[in-house]
Structure 1
Amino acid sequence: METSTQGADAAELLDAVGPAFSRLRRAAALNVEKNVSRKDLTRTLVLNIVQDGPERDSQEITVGVVGERLAVDPSVASRMVSDCISAGYLIRAASQQDGRRTILQLTDEGHRTLARFRSHQRSAYERITQDWPERERLEFARLLIKYVESVAELQDDSASG
């Protein structure tokens, strides 16, 4: 049976999650390793969306989809995509569903850039958690991935319902 102290401790812990996510977001922008520029952080947001692909069968990855997933204005999404195209990470291609629509595809350089960024992210995770027991590092990674997948499922349910 849970005591009122345990319940208060649990409530306090759960109340701290939101502010912790906010601090994490701000810290992520600062970069642990300092070898990824802010511009590259922004580019990887766009590249990850393109790599993640459609959320449903009829969807294709367009500038509009990038804007929706990043919750930015279409003009901001367009500038972000144009920057990735100028850098050689993305190309525009004709939609196979609607020839009037332009879709986005990763280039070989875009794939290499994402691989480098993932390596950087892993190094940062390992550095941040270097003093944690291995079991905790792996459990936190597993739970974080589970959390993100649950968020995606909720978004899917909201979109379909």
Structure 2
Amino acid sequence: MGKPSADVADIETAVVALRRSRQRRALARLAERRGEHAGHQAGLPEAAFELLDVVEAAEGQGSALTVTEVAALLGVDQPRSSRLTAQALAAGLLRREADQHDGRRSLLALTPEGRDVLARIRTFRRGVIVEATASWTTEDRAALAHLLTRFVRDFSAIARH
């Protein structure tokens, strides 16, 4: 592979900037500064809301996850996943359900309160995106949505192998 094009270098720089922003929990800090405590009112760490996102995504695909599967998807160890799950259970955002196919397994499901918290978080995140792209044309936003979704899909396919 030869020298990457300027476009590839720009994409790499943007991906690194997004990763750094995520590591700094930029959205959570912005929410706090603006008094938008959609998820934080439950007193949970930011990672607990990432857990809820993962559970919701699985439910959207017609499946449910165990604590072990959540750990793998979040890239954390089993004890960390167990602590986050316990916190979300105690806050009433998740519940455990028996696996109908394997009685030894316990599956995680969002409660109505968990769905409500995620809806408020999603509304905040989407509002920030609207704000960040306010001066963009409709076509530019549509192009970003299409290309970013495609990039994430293709990148994920490579990363899985």
Percent identity among equivalent residues? Answer: 29
Could you tell me whether the CA contact under 8 Å between 2:96 and 2:107 is conserved in 1? yes
1:16-74 deviation line (CA, Å, top 9, x unaligned): 234223233233343355524483632221111111217x99x7401101111111111
Residue 153 (structure 1) aligned with residue 147 (structure 2): no
| Aligned partner letter, 2:36 | N
CA RMSD of aligned residues (A): 2.8
TM-score relative to the length of structure 1: 0.77
Aligned to 2:17: 20
Q: How does 1:1-161 map to 2 (within 5 A)?
A: 9-25=6-22, 26=24, 27-31=26-30, 33=34, 35-36=36-37, 37=40, 39=44, 41-53=46-58, 60-154=64-158, 158=161
SS in 1 for 2:154: helix
Which stretch of the first structure deviates more once superposed, 63-72 or 143-152?
A: 143-152
Question: Which aligned runs of 4 or more in structure 1 are off by greater than 4 angstroms?
Answer: none
SS in 1 for 2:134: coil
Q: 1:31 to 1:103 in 2, by over 3 A?
A: same
Which stretch of the first structure deviates more once superposed, 125-134 or 23-32?
A: 23-32
Q: 1-side partners of 2:8 and 2:119: how far apart?
A: 39
Higher relative contact order (CA 8 A, sep 6+): 2
| Aligned partner letter, 1:39 | L
1:81 Cα shift? Answer: 0.6
TM-score relative to the length of structure 2: 0.77
**Unmatched segments (≥5 aa) in structure 2:** none
Could you tell me whether the CA contact under 8 Å between 2:67 and 2:107 is conserved in 1? yes
Larger Rg: 1
SS in 2 for 1:53: helix
